[in-house]
Amino acid sequence: MADLRQALRVLLKAPGFSILIVAVLALGIGANTAIFSIVNGVLLKPLPFAHADRLVAVQTTVKNEPDDTSYLDFQDWRAQAKSFDALAVYTTAAITMTGVGDAQSLPIAIVTPDLLPSLGATPTIGRVFSQDDDKKGATRTTILASSLWASRFGSDPNIVGRSITLDGDPFTVIGVMPAAFEFPFDAEDPPQMWLPVNASRFASQWASQRNASFLKGIGVLKPGVARGTAEAELATIESHIKDRTGSHSVLVRPLQDALVKDYRLGLLVLLGAVGAVLLIACANVANLLLARGSVRRREIAVRVALGASRGRIARQLLVESVALATIGGIAGAMLSLWTIDLLVRFSPLQVPRLHNVHLDGAALAFAALVSIATGVLSGLVPAFQLSKARSGDALKDGERAGSNARGARTRQTLVVAEVAISLVLLTAAGLLVRSLVALQHVSPGFATERAVAMQLLLPQSRYTNGDAMRAFATRLHDEARTLPGVTAAAISTTLPMSGSDIGLGYTVEGQPADPSVRLSAAYFAISADYFSTLGIPLIKGRAFTDRDNNAAPNVLIINQAMAAKHWPNANPIGKRVTIGYNDTGPREIVGVVGDVKQGDLAEKSVPQMYGTFAQTPWPFVTAVVRTTNAPESAAASLRTMLARIDPQQAAGEIKTLDQYVSRSIATPRFTALLVGAFATLALLLAALGLFSVMAYSVAQRRREIGIRMALGAQPTDVRALVLRQALTMGVVGLAIGLAGAFAATQILDSLLFGITAHDPATFTSVCGVLLTVMLLAAYLPARRATRVDPIIALRTE
Amino acid sequence: MLVSLRNVEKSYPHGVGRTYVLRRLNVDIKEGEFVSIMGPSGAGKSTLLHILGMHDSAWSGEYYFMDQPVHRLNPKQRSELHKKHIGFVFQSYHLLDNLTVYENLEIPLSYRNVSRKDRQSMVADILDRFSIVGKKDLYPNQLSGGQQQLVGVARAVIANPQVILADEPTGNLHSAQGKEIMELFRSLNEAGTTIVQVTHSEVNASYGTRIIQLRDGWVVDD
C-alpha cells in the first residue's frame, strides 16, 4: 500500500510524463480489448444454444466442393441416420407481408420442424413447429421474431392464432421467439419470421426435386458420437441415393466453425496485429520508464544507501508501472467501448453474431489482465536495470549519472524491437492494401456507374404461372424505361454480385455427360436490352431481341468462360444445350458475351448462361435502371412505380450496382483498413520510441557534441552523427523485421489477391516508408543537437 | 599580427541593465608568442579564450585573426578559420568517453576532410611524438589525468594549428603531470606554435613570454 501511495505521488509529480504513458497504454489496451471483444463474440463464445458443443453443420459436398442439400436428401438422412439426436435444415429467403400497414418484404428463415428444438429454443409465447405443420396441404403456420412482433403488431399478447398474409397466402401465427434468439446468423439481415419448408410455396416446389439443393443442414450429435462417425454414416446414406450425377458426400463440422469459417483468419490476423501494437506500446513505455529512471538514479541510489534491497527497489518500480498500466487499462476500456461500436458499424455485415458484440465481462476481464501484464512487461526491464544501481556510483556521478551505457543499449534494443514489429505489421498492411487495390481494379465485367437495381420475389399465390410473371415483368420493364432520368432499363432474374444467384445444371448436345461431374452454370433470365443496359459486351453471334419470346424457339446466350470450357477450338454459335429447368428441350446458342463476376471480384470467371425472361419466367425479378438522377431519387421512383403496378408487392433490396461491387470487397476492405490502422499506430509508436530515445540520447550527449563542435564539427557533422545512430537502430530493426515479415506474411496468403505474400514491391516500399519515418523521428533531436552551444555544454562540467 | 582585438566587449542583459564580462579589450598577439591570461575567478579569462577560439560569437568590437575580420565572417567561415588554424585544450580534457585514444585523435582530422590514409599516418605520427603508442586502444577512463591531458594536447596539435588555446590545461593535474604538460607547450612554442593559455598558476605563466592580467573584464596589465 505504501508502495502504491508513493507510486501515485511519483506519477503525479511528472504529470506530462504520466499522461503520455497512460495515453500510449490506453491506445494499446483499448485496441486490444475492442478486437478481443469481437474475436470473443464471433469466434470464442459458445453459440447461445443448448448442446452447443454437440451442434454440427451438416453439409453436402459434390466432388469435394461444398454445396447445399436437397430436401429429399435430408429426409433420407433423417430417416436413416443413427448418430444424431436431431437433424434439421434451413434456408433464408424473403417474403412479402400485406395487410399489416404497407406491403413489406421481410427476411425469413425456412426451416424444418426440428430446427428450433434442436437449438433448444423455445418461444416466448405460443409453440414451435410440429411435424404436421410441415406436411403438404397443412394450415400454413409461422413463428415471429420478437422485433417484428413489437414493430408491426405492437407486441400484441393475443398474436398466437392470428392470421396474417404472406405472399398472398394466409398464415397462422403460432408463436413469438425471444428477443435474444437469432438463427441463422450468416444472413445479412436477421430473419423476421420462421416458416416450415412446405408452408412456403417457393421452398415446397423445390422440396420434391432430388437435385434442388437449397438447404443448409444442422444436427445435434448423440452424446459420445464422434463427428467422423456421423460423417461416415451420412456419406454412406448419400452413396446409396440413386439417379443423379456427381459424387456426393457429406461434411460434418462444429456449427461454430462452419459459421465463422470465412472470417476466422481475418479476425485472427487482426488479433495478431493488435497484439503487436500492444507489444510496441509496452516497449515504448519501458523505454520512457528507463529514460525517466535514469533521471531518478540519484533517488534510487539514495534509497539503496538507506538500505533498500534490490527486490524492494524493483517492487517499487513495478508498482509504478502497474499503476500506470491500470490507469491506461481503464482509459483503454473506455476507449474500446467507442471503438467496438465503430468497428461493428463499419464491419462487413455478414460476420455472424458481430452485431451482438459489446464490452462484456469477458472483455473487461481481458482488459484487466492485459493491463496488469502490460504493467509488468513494460516495468520489468526498467525495474531490473535500475534496481542494479549502486549507491556510490550514482551519488558521485553528478550530471552524467544517466549516461549509463547499459541503459542506453537496453533502450536501443527496445527501439530495434519496435521497428522490427512495426515492419511486420506494415508489411502485412501493405500486402492487404495492395491486394485490395488490385481487387478494386478488377473489372466486374459490367458497368456499375449510375445504375440502381430493385429485387423482387413474386408470390406464387398470386403469380401462379409463367404468363402472370411475364406480364408483370413486361409492365415493370416498360414503366421503368419511362421513369424520369432513366436512360436504360432491363429485367433479369438476378444480377451478378447481388448476393442472389440461380445455378442450373445442363447438358451439352454431342458432348457425353460424365456421370461423376455435375455441370452447372449461373443462369439469368433477362430482357432483350439487358446486355446493353449493363454494358456487357457481345463477343460473338447476336444479342436477344423482342422476337425471342415464348412463341419462338428457345435460345441461349453463354459467356466466354462457358464457351472456352466446351468449345475451346470451335464456334459455339448454333450448338445446343439443355438446361435443367422447364425441360422444354435443347436451346440453341445464339451468342457469346463477356464474362461477368458472379460472386465477388476475386473469383475466376465461371460459366454463365442467359435465356430470355419471356421464355423462362421466374418469380425472381430484378429491375435495373441506368439513371441520371441521384440513387435515392431513382430508388423512390422505382418504389412508386411498383406500388402503381402491384400495390401488394413489396420491394426487396434496392441498391446501386456500385454498392454490389463494394459489398463484395467489404471483408478485405475491412481487414486491410484495420490492419492498416494498427500498422500506422505501430509506426507512430515506434517513431515516438525512436524520437524519445534520440532526444534523450542527444540530451545525454550534449557534452560530447559540445566537444566535437569545439574540435571543428559542423552542424551537418552533428546532424549526421545523430541520424547515423537512429539509422543504425532502424536498419537493425529492419533486418530483423524483414525476417519476421517474411515468415509472418505467409499466413496472409489466402487473404491476398493479385500479389504474393512475398511481393518485393511491398517489402521494398514498406522498408522505405519505415526508414523515412525513422529518420523524420530522429530529425528533430538531430536538429536540436546542432544547436548545442559548445561553451555551455562544456561549462556544465 | 596573428590576433588583433579592438574594443571587444561581451555582456549579458541583467534586469534592466547589462552585466559586462569583457570591457573594451584591445589585445594584439604576434605569431610565436606564449601568452598567459591571468586574473581572479569571473575576470573573463575563459570568455576571452572562447572568443579567440571562435566558439563564442556573441560579442561586439573587432577581431582580426591573421588579418581576417572575424567579426564580419559568418558562422561557417569562422568555423573554417578555426578548424584550419586553432587547436583547443580543455581543463577537463573533454576526451570522448566511448572512443579509444586513437579514435579521439582522429576526430579533428575527420572534421577537416582529411583522407583516411592521411589520417592514419597523422595519428601514428602524433602517437609516436607524444609517446603514447601503447595507449592507442585504451579508453579515456583507462588513463590517468595526466595521460588524458596528454591526449588532449595531442588532439589539439594533430591538425598542425598555428595557435593552441588552452583553458587551465593543468587545473585538474598534480604538479608533476602539470609540469610535463607545460614542458610540452614550451617545446611546441619553440617549434613555432603560438600558445595562449588561461591559468591561475604563476609557475605555469612563467613558461610564457607575456602575461595579460584581467580583472572584472578589463585588461589591467599587459
Do A794 and B111 count as a contact with CB atoms less than 8 A apart?
A: no
Say yes or no to pLDDT of B4 above 70.
yes
Chain A residues with CB under 8 Å of a chain B CB are 403, 405, 703-704, 706-714, 717, 790-791, 794, 797
Handedness of CA B161, B167, B172, B175 (dihedral sign): positive
Does the ipTM exceed 0.90?
A: no
Handedness of CA A561, A210, A188, A637 (dihedral sign): positive
Identify the weakest region by mean pLDDT among A252-266, A534-548, A747-761, A774-788: A252-266
Print the SS3 string covering A384-421: HHHCCCCHHHHHHCHHHHHCCHHHHHHHHHHHHHHHHH
Question: Is the separation of the CB atoms in A11 and A323 below 8 Å?
Answer: yes
pLDDT digits (tens, 9 = 90+) for A635-688: 999 999 999 999 888 888 899 999 999 888 888 888 888 889 889 988 998 888
* Residues in A touching B79 (Cβ below 8 Å): 712, 714
Quote the pLDDT of residue A772: 92
A352 is written with which cell numbers? Answer: 455472424
Give Cβ neighbours of residue B85 (< 8 Å, ≥ 6 apart): B65, B66, B161, B162, B163
Closest listed residue to residue A720, CA positions, set A734, A733, A708: A708
Do A709 and B55 count as a contact with CB atoms less than 8 A apart?
A: yes
Cα–Cα distance, B82 to A34 (Å, whole number)? 61
pLDDT digits (tens, 9 = 90+) for A680-738: 988 998 888 888 888 888 888 888 888 888 888 888 899 999 999 999 999 999 999 99
If one compares A599 and A391, the residue with the highest pLDDT of the two is: A599
Averaged pLDDT of chain B: 89
Quote the pLDDT of residue A396: 47
Q: Any chain A CB within 8 A of the CB of B112?
A: yes
* Residues in B touching A403 (Cβ below 8 Å): 97
Quote the pLDDT of residue A353: 81
Quote the pLDDT of residue A607: 94
Averaged pLDDT of chain A: 87
Residue type, B212: I
Identify the weakest region by mean pLDDT among A30-44, A197-211, A222-236, A472-486: A197-211
| Mean pLDDT calculated for residue range A98-108 | 86
Nearest to A713 among B97, B98, B111 (CB): B111
Nearest to B83 among A712, A790, A791 (CB): A712
Residue A141 parent element (H or E): strand A141-144
List strand residue ranges (DSSP E) for chain B, in order: 3-14, 17-29, 34-38, 60-65, 68-69, 86-89, 163-167, 194-198, 210-215, 218-221
| Three-state SS at B207 | coil
pLDDT band at A305 (very low <50, low <70, confident <90, very high): low
Closest listed residue to residue A438, CA positions, set A657, A656, A756: A756
- Strand B3-14 relative to strand B17-29, pairing: antiparallel
Cα–Cα distance, A173 to A164 (Å, whole number)? 7
Closest listed residue to residue A647, CA positions, set A98, A151, A93: A98
Q: Any chain A CB within 8 A of the CB of B98?
A: yes
Do A711 and B88 count as a contact with CB atoms less than 8 A apart?
A: yes
If one compares A383 and A467, the residue with the highest pLDDT of the two is: A467
Q: What distance in Å separates residue B83's CA from the closest CA in chain A? A: 5
Q: Any chain A CB within 8 A of the CB of B41?
A: no
Identify the weakest region by mean pLDDT among A182-191, A292-301, A391-400, B207-216: A391-400
Quote the pLDDT of residue A400: 44
Torsion of the alpha carbons at A454, A459, A463 and A465, rounded to the nearest 10: 100
Instruction: Identify the top-confidence range among A190-194, A307-311, A457-461, B157-161.
Output: A190-194
Burial (0-12, 13-18, 19+ Cβ within 10 Å), A52: middle
pLDDT band at B62 (very low <50, low <70, confident <90, very high): very high
What is the pTM assigned to this prediction? Answer: 0.77
Quote the pLDDT of residue A402: 41
How big is chain B by its Cα radius of gyration, in Å? 18
Quote the pLDDT of residue A225: 92
| Mean pLDDT calculated for residue range A109-113 | 94
Do B92 and A712 count as a contact with CB atoms less than 8 A apart?
A: no
Nearest CA in chain B to A707: B94
Nearest CA in chain A to B104: A708
A415 is written with which cell numbers? Answer: 527501439
| Mean pLDDT calculated for residue range A112-134 | 92
B71 is written with which cell numbers? Answer: 567579426
Question: Is the separation of the CB atoms in A596 and A501 below 8 Å?
Answer: no
Q: What's CA A273's distance to the chain center, in Å?
A: 15
Tell me the C-alpha to C-alpha distance, in Å, between residue A620 and each of A202, A456, A642. Answer: 10, 6, 15
* Residues in A touching B94 (Cβ below 8 Å): 703, 706-707, 710, 794, 797
Cα–Cα distance, A434 to B127 (Å, whole number)? 59
Cis ω for the linkage preceding A444 (within 30 of 0): no
Question: Is the separation of the CB atoms in A322 and A379 below 8 Å?
Answer: yes
Instruction: Identify the top-confidence range among A62-71, A451-460, A575-584.
Output: A451-460
Q: What proportion of chain A, given as a percentage, has pLDDT over 70?
A: 94
| Mean pLDDT calculated for residue range B55-81 | 89
Quote the pLDDT of residue A480: 95
Q: What distance in Å separates residue A320's CA from the closest CA in chain B? A: 33
Q: Any chain A CB within 8 A of the CB of B171?
A: no
Do A714 and B79 count as a contact with CB atoms less than 8 A apart?
A: yes
Do B97 and A704 count as a contact with CB atoms less than 8 A apart?
A: yes
Exposure string of A718-730, with b = 16+ CB inside 10 Å and e = fewer, is bbebbbebbbebb
Torsion of the alpha carbons at A229, A233, A235 and A238, rounded to the nearest 10: -160
A to B CB pairs, distance under 8 Å: 45
